[in-house]
Amino acid sequence: MSSTENNNADQKQENCFTNDDGLKIFCKDWGEAASISNPRCLVFIAHGLGEHCLWYDQLAEELTKRQVYVFSHDHIGHGQSEGDRVHINNFKQYTRDVFYHVELKKKKFSNIPVFMIGHSMGGAMAILCALERPEFFKGIILIAPAIIVSPAAVSPLKVFIGRWLSYVFPQLPIAKLDPKAVCRDPNVVKKYEDDPLVYHGGIKVKLGTQLLDSMDYICANLEKLEVPFLALHGDKDTLAEVDGSKQLGEKAKSKDKTLKIYEGYYHQLHNEPDDDGVGGTGIRAEIVKWIVERMPA
């Protein structure tokens, strides 16, 4: 892999690296934009299926105010990264790129802790990374992580047919995500629907089966997870099953683990309206507080 600078007209400190598949991966570097030269910790953000890293501007900017160096990238085939749209041959291509990107920053800032924030499919990536290299992260923050699927939505017959189709027509679009299930805030839903960088087509069958396989692996290895974590989930989330987070809270061996379930909340908790004093900016404040409490003094 290689890293190259891409000087954009708006000078937002965006760049890219070329991964092992020869694809340019678009990166966002809030730490560089905030001129953080002596960070207290590093935080990598892994976005969810179909979206892109620029959806985390607010959360990242709140972290940079606490001398946290935040960075992210668009996964293969997402947002401004190269690759067939929202298609993957092997889920490990995602986690491989995460490790590479984080290693780039660790070379620049040595001997400081690294945290990872993962939303939805990005939450599955965070758990997989923590299982693969337990000492790599100081902690992971999981926002509505994709851990289990709803039996009503994905029956054994659908899985069987999907696996067959993934070999014959790997990029066949199947079920679509409902934009209205993303957030209770209609303004966020409209932004999501109008965003040209968001993938609005059906989930492709190969990615779907790869995600299912990864979730099966996570469920079979929850008891091996020892990394500190904060898991946040809305009980009205129809895109990622809240029971997955509950199982994580029960089975993980992590000595430092926190699970919070928010009544009535949807999928993008970090963008939920702050109408009752605990959502919206409150959710982001919860994440910032958890990280800051675990940073070096």
Q: Can you tell me which residue has the tokens 């491989």?
A: 96
State how far the Cα of 20 lies from the Cα of 239, in Å rounded to an integer. 31
Is 237 one of the annotated active-site residues of the chain? yes
Is 73 one of the annotated active-site residues of the chain? no
Tell me, rounded to whole angstroms, the distance of Cα 155 from its chain centroid: 25
Is 74 one of the annotated active-site residues of the chain? no
Residue of 237, 245, 254, 270 marked catalytic: 237
Residue of 81, 120, 214, 254 marked catalytic: 120
- Nearest CA to 49 among 70, 75, 71, 26? 75
Number of H helices, E strands in the chain: 9, 9
- Coil/strand/helix, residue 262: strand
Which H helix or E strand runs over 230?
strand 229-234
State how far the Cα of 22 lies from the Cα of 37, in Å rounded to an integer. 30
Those residues with Cβ within 8 angstroms of residue 147's Cβ, 6 or more apart along the chain or in another chain: 123, 124, 127, 215, 218, 219, 240, 241, 244, 245, 247, 248
Residue of 73, 119, 267, 270 marked catalytic: 267
- Nearest CA to 87 among 71, 76, 96? 76
State how far the Cα of 46 lies from the Cα of 71, in Å rounded to an integer. 9
Residue 117: other Cβ atoms inside 10 A: 27
Which positions are annotated as active-site residues? 120, 237, 267
